[in-house]
Structure 1
Amino acid sequence: MYIQSTRMTSVLQTLSQLIGEWLDVRGILIFLCVLLFVKHLRDVYLRNLPPGPFPLPFIGNLLDVGFKDPLGSFQRISEQYGEVCTVFFGSKPFIMLTGYKNFKEAFVEQADIFTDRPKFPVSERLSGGKGLFMTSGHMWRQQRRFALSTLKYFGVGKKTLENAVLQECRVLCDTVRTERGLPYNPHRVLVSAVSNIISGLMFGHRFEYDDHNFHLMQTYIDDILQLPMSTWGRLYDQFPTLMSLLPGKHHTAFASMSKLKPFIQEEIRKHKEDRDPFNPRDYIDCYLDEIEKCNDSEAEFTEENLIYCAVDLFSAGTETTSNTLNWGLLFMVKNPEVQEKVHSEIDQVIGQTRQPLMDDRIHLPYTYAVIHEIQRVANIITFTPPRVADKDITVAGQLIPKGVVVFPLLKPILEDKNEYSTPHEFNPAHFLDENGKFLKKENFIPFSIGKRMCPGEQLARMELFLFFTSLMQNFTFLPVEGQTLNVKRTISVSVAPEPFNIRALPR
């Protein structure tokens, strides 16, 4: 009995010691967790940021945003916390900004403060801090100045470029006509048509729609555009070192950029061989001239920067317009009564014997309203590219600290119930007055506003009107029998509808 009692005592002592040690370890862990949480609370609230959902340590508002519908989540957060609110991605705060008055206050009235872009690991990896759209400072100002003046020189906003777009409209309609009313996906042919306008400005020539290299270039650009807003892109921005080691679609986008660069380099090589400095043919010729005469090294007029500027112009100028046209055809099939009214107006004003012209816009108020409504509902650029303020500033009474990333959110502006009677429905009457005249709306800003608004706005407006009106003049678009079309959206820099098939019957 004595031996058993001694053993029992020994076991109890050992157990008591282990429990004490465990309690000590647990106490230390609990203390550390409480300490970290208090520090997290201090970091969140002492920054005096605009309101927003409370961020969890390490993951921020990941659970609030989710992965399936981040754009919808951002809008819901904005509706709950206000037009200037804060969301945390990991430990980093991002300020979401919406509301037309706020856009105007920030990007027009305080434009010089909001011209810089933040640096993200994804964009740095893709462009190396060069190009037109994700750069800042002196280099960006010089590159944008050059881009605007060169595009204007080659006819953007003028009659000379209108003729080139009309020529491409003829090719597009001839290509669609070959389908003979059979089911087909319009995306690729629309991308080819719009890409050829940019190609003419950039390279001085167009491509045939079945050109293999042309399709490869479009595929590479599509891969690049899909990355920043994707789950893979967001993970790479949070954990670049780790994600560089892990497989995923981010590597596809990086590889596509590597494959796209030689394509443009070859065009530059050809231009250098036969260009005439006194007679520039296109953007590349003008850029090569600028490289030779520019004495400003900080402006970075180099062949490498030319490559990234070309990628940016193709990316922004192709996907945005082609996706809008793609949405337009989808909306016409889904709303046959609207398509019928467009057909009737075009028949009365233009007829079938001549092509539409930009001067016809004033005489086609319903068609012009439909195009604007397509842009509004499609809302292909939900976010304009992010900004950072170069000093502490207030917008709508809320402090935006220097260096904190600002995401301008367009969707709530284009769905403002105070401006649009049925904001979530496709309704061309939003852009018509009581007399059926076209009604211009100040808050309709699909190209954003201010010093960093889209430099290709005039070109895009011309393309949308001429391509859409030409297609409506020549075809009736119908659904495929037995198939139901949806309006689900893909997640990308430029939001497209999910792939769909339709029929195009010649009129």
Structure 2
Amino acid sequence: MFAIDPVTVLLSIVSILFLAHVYNKRQDKYKNFPPGPKPWPIIGNMLSIDMKRPHETFIELSKTYGPVIGVQIGLKKVVVLCGYDTLKDALINHAEQFADRAVAPIIRKSQMENGIIFSNGENWKVMRRFTLSTLRDYGMGKRTLEDKIIEEAECLVQTIKSHGGKPFDNQTIINAAVANIIVSILLSHRFEYEDPILQKLMTLVNENVKLIGAPIVKLYNSFPFLVGLLPGSHKKVCANRLQFHDFVRATFTEQRKVLDVNDQRNLVDAFLAKQQEGTPESTLYYHDDNLTTLVSNLFFAGMETTSTTLRWGLLFMIKYPNIQKKVQDEIQKVLDTAQPRVEHRKQMPYTDAVIHEILRCSDVTPGSVVRATSQDVKFRGYFIPKGTTVIPVLYTSLRDELYFEKPNEFYPEHFLDSKGNFKKNDAFIPFAIGKRICAGETLAKMELFLFFTKLLQHFTFQAPPGAVLNLTPDPGFTNTPFPHELCAISRT
């Protein structure tokens, strides 16, 4: 017989009691948590969720558990919100409680909750206020920026014409055209599409969009201490972001040398001028780390989502040539060969409806950017503790059968009344709603109308001979089209 060490026994009892206490406290914390599938120990519901297209799993779960679902991803409890009415209730009626951003470990590792997208509290409020006011100052919604978009659209048209109707991949040039708009606001600069600096920046962004959707990155976000020891794309994500940050820092370091606070040329100048005010706010929030991340956030958001939506738009026009023809007929009637301008949108209800339907069906960010509860909240009879990650599934609003007649079809009539006039739809929320609504919504809508109208004014888009059109999203941080080629047949 082995002798039992009393100290070992005591430590074992204490350990068991401690673990039981922690478990009971956890159970108490999540008492009356929203219903959902039973989780496995440690991994939670990860095996039952399609990690590439989680919104599809959430839709199926909502059929069983309702529009407010509790799931567990790894060790973390998560609340999933489905359907427009639920999203509106949470993000509008309980705006303060659902206003925080959940910051994944892969994000926190390289930007420390600076900038605007993944920051919280007073830092987020200051950065958002600065961003909105500065975007307005440097043209968002104004004629000066509209002129820049029109000039860029003309450059894009000429580049597409150079292919002579032969098949080409449009990702790089559309990315570059859209990127030049946000770069003009950030840096007062325009890149040629072949510029190696712009090519590098776009590559870093596009790589990370894909890598963040990789299984190992999602595992890293659930188990950072363990997965962080392994090689993989989670390390590439951080390396790419740091390379981008190095470019931003080098750029504003040069701008600082020639800064004239009385002649501010762009958003970076405006931020650098704030640094020199010497107020408590300027010291606390207008530091170089915030500037680095803010510029990176705006470049990513200003390029990726709008250019991806445009690329989806051209694919939908290829898929539905009758709709493409109707848009071109309206362009011919209203514009003929005149330059498209934002003021024409009201005269072009069908084109406007098609653009809205492109935004709805492309659903570039199906799960939105995840939120977190800023305080304990009672929501629809459930208790959600402070700090709980919340996923508002925008996809379920954009495909809500209570608001869209044909939710799973491309149907521009969703945004037209019986007389052919444009009509709004409350459930159309591709830019989210509430306090975290996209700061660049106005800019994105302006770009989409001017670029899309200009392209269809000059070209008819077709699939290359023998090509099979693929409208399945290539999942990542955003839903992008799979690599493809198309033909642009000149109409002028």
TM-score by length of 1: 0.90
Kept after mapping to 2: 8 A contact 1:326/1:497: yes
CA distance in 1, matches of 2:122, 2:340: 41
**CA apart distance, 1:455:** 0.3
- Which amino acid is the alignment partner of residue 480 of structure 2? A
1:445 corresponds to 2:429: yes
Match of 1:263 among 237, 247, 250: 247
- Which amino acid is the alignment partner of residue 264 of structure 2? P
**CA apart distance, 1:493:** 2.2
1:127 corresponds to 2:111: yes
Kept after mapping to 1: 8 A contact 2:75/2:222: no
Task: Determine the structure 1 residue equivalent to 2:303.
Answer: 318
Task: Determine the structure 2 residue equivalent to 1:215.
Answer: 199
**CA apart distance, 1:125:** 1.2
Task: Determine the structure 1 residue equivalent to 2:412.
Answer: 428
Kept after mapping to 2: 8 A contact 1:195/1:318: yes
CA distance in 2, matches of 1:416, 1:114: 21
**CA apart distance, 1:490:** 1.7
1:418 corresponds to 2:402: yes
CA distance in 2, matches of 1:389, 1:42: 17
Task: Determine the structure 1 residue equivalent to 2:159.
Answer: 175
- Which amino acid is the alignment partner of residue 344 of structure 1? D
Instruction: State the Cα RMSD in Å.
Output: 2.1
Kept after mapping to 2: 8 A contact 1:323/1:496: yes
- Which amino acid is the alignment partner of residue 380 of structure 1? V
Match of 1:343 among 315, 328, 334: 328
CA distance in 2, matches of 1:68, 1:144: 30
- Which amino acid is the alignment partner of residue 172 of structure 1? L
For 1:424-450, what per-residue CA distance to the aligned partner results, in whole angstroms no more than 9, with x for missing partners? 111111111111111111121111111
For the structure 1 residues 241 and 42, does the alpha-carbon distance in structure 2 shift closer, same or farther, using more than 3 Å as the test?
Answer: closer
Kept after mapping to 1: 8 A contact 2:52/2:475: no
CA distance in 1, matches of 2:354, 2:170: 19
Task: Determine the structure 2 residue equivalent to 1:377.
Answer: 361
CA distance in 1, matches of 2:421, 2:372: 40
In the TM superposition, what are the counterparts of 1:212-251 in structure 2 within 5 Å?
Answer: 212-251=196-235
Match of 1:333 among 286, 300, 318: 318
CA distance in 2, matches of 1:275, 1:67: 47
Match of 1:78 among 36, 52, 62: 62
1:117 corresponds to 2:101: yes
- Which amino acid is the alignment partner of residue 300 of structure 2? S
Kept after mapping to 2: 8 A contact 1:382/1:409: yes
Match of 2:137 among 132, 153, 157: 153
**CA apart distance, 1:419:** 1.4
Task: Determine the structure 1 residue equivalent to 2:92.
Answer: 108
Kept after mapping to 1: 8 A contact 2:34/2:383: yes
Task: Determine the structure 1 residue equivalent to 2:271.
Answer: 287
1:98 corresponds to 2:90: no
Task: Determine the structure 1 residue equivalent to 2:443.
Answer: 459
CA distance in 2, matches of 1:350, 1:245: 59
For the structure 1 residues 76 and 116, does the alpha-carbon distance in structure 2 shift closer, same or farther, using more than 3 Å as the test?
Answer: same
CA distance in 2, matches of 1:491, 1:452: 23
Kept after mapping to 2: 8 A contact 1:102/1:395: no
Aligned to 1:486, the other structure's residue is in SS state coil
Match of 1:492 among 461, 476, 492: 476
Moved more, 255-264 or 228-237: 228-237
Kept after mapping to 2: 8 A contact 1:61/1:89: yes
Kept after mapping to 2: 8 A contact 1:40/1:57: no
CA distance in 2, matches of 1:143, 1:45: 33
For 1:91-121, what per-residue CA distance to the aligned partner results, in whole angstroms no more than 9, with x for missing partners? 2110001222222222222222222222321
Task: Determine the structure 2 residue equivalent to 1:10.
Answer: none
**CA apart distance, 1:45:** 9.4
For the structure 1 residues 46 and 375, does the alpha-carbon distance in structure 2 shift closer, same or farther, using more than 3 Å as the test?
Answer: closer
1:199 corresponds to 2:199: no
CA distance in 2, matches of 1:396, 1:42: 21
Task: Determine the structure 1 residue equivalent to 2:289.
Answer: 304
For the structure 1 residues 333 and 295, does the alpha-carbon distance in structure 2 shift closer, same or farther, using more than 3 Å as the test?
Answer: same
**CA apart distance, 1:273:** 2.2
Kept after mapping to 1: 8 A contact 2:327/2:456: yes
Match of 2:373 among 389, 397, 401: 389
CA distance in 1, matches of 2:54, 2:86: 22
CA distance in 2, matches of 1:471, 1:143: 35
- Which amino acid is the alignment partner of residue 348 of structure 1? K
Kept after mapping to 2: 8 A contact 1:376/1:414: yes
**CA apart distance, 1:327:** 0.3
Kept after mapping to 2: 8 A contact 1:142/1:299: no
CA distance in 1, matches of 2:46, 2:425: 36
For the structure 1 residues 466 and 44, does the alpha-carbon distance in structure 2 shift closer, same or farther, using more than 3 Å as the test?
Answer: farther
- Give the number of equivalent residue pairs: 474
Aligned to 1:330, the other structure's residue is in SS state helix
**CA apart distance, 1:467:** 0.3
Moved more, 483-492 or 291-300: 291-300
Match of 2:173 among 180, 189, 192: 189
Match of 1:53 among 37, 55, 61: 37
Match of 1:136 among 120, 134, 158: 120
Task: Determine the structure 2 residue equivalent to 1:3.
Answer: none
Aligned to 2:473, the other structure's residue is in SS state coil
In the TM superposition, what are the counterparts of 1:363-374 in structure 2 within 5 Å?
Answer: 363-374=347-358
Aligned to 1:504, the other structure's residue is in SS state strand
For the structure 1 residues 40 and 376, does the alpha-carbon distance in structure 2 shift closer, same or farther, using more than 3 Å as the test?
Answer: farther
Moved more, 237-246 or 439-448: 237-246
Aligned to 1:155, the other structure's residue is in SS state coil
- Which amino acid is the alignment partner of residue 106 of structure 1? A
Aligned to 1:114, the other structure's residue is in SS state coil
CA distance in 2, matches of 1:44, 1:95: 17
- Which amino acid is the alignment partner of residue 96 of structure 2? D
Kept after mapping to 2: 8 A contact 1:225/1:315: no
For the structure 1 residues 431 and 41, does the alpha-carbon distance in structure 2 shift closer, same or farther, using more than 3 Å as the test?
Answer: same
**CA apart distance, 1:42:** 8.1
For 1:329-377, what per-residue CA distance to the aligned partner results, in whole angstroms no more than 9, with x for missing partners? 000001111101111110111002x210111111111111000000000
For 1:304-328, what per-residue CA distance to the aligned partner results, in whole angstroms no more than 9, with x for missing partners? 2111100100111110000000100
Kept after mapping to 2: 8 A contact 1:181/1:505: yes
CA distance in 2, matches of 1:45, 1:110: 21
Name the % identity: 38
For the structure 1 residues 408 and 299, does the alpha-carbon distance in structure 2 shift closer, same or farther, using more than 3 Å as the test?
Answer: farther
CA distance in 2, matches of 1:383, 1:66: 13
Kept after mapping to 2: 8 A contact 1:78/1:84: yes
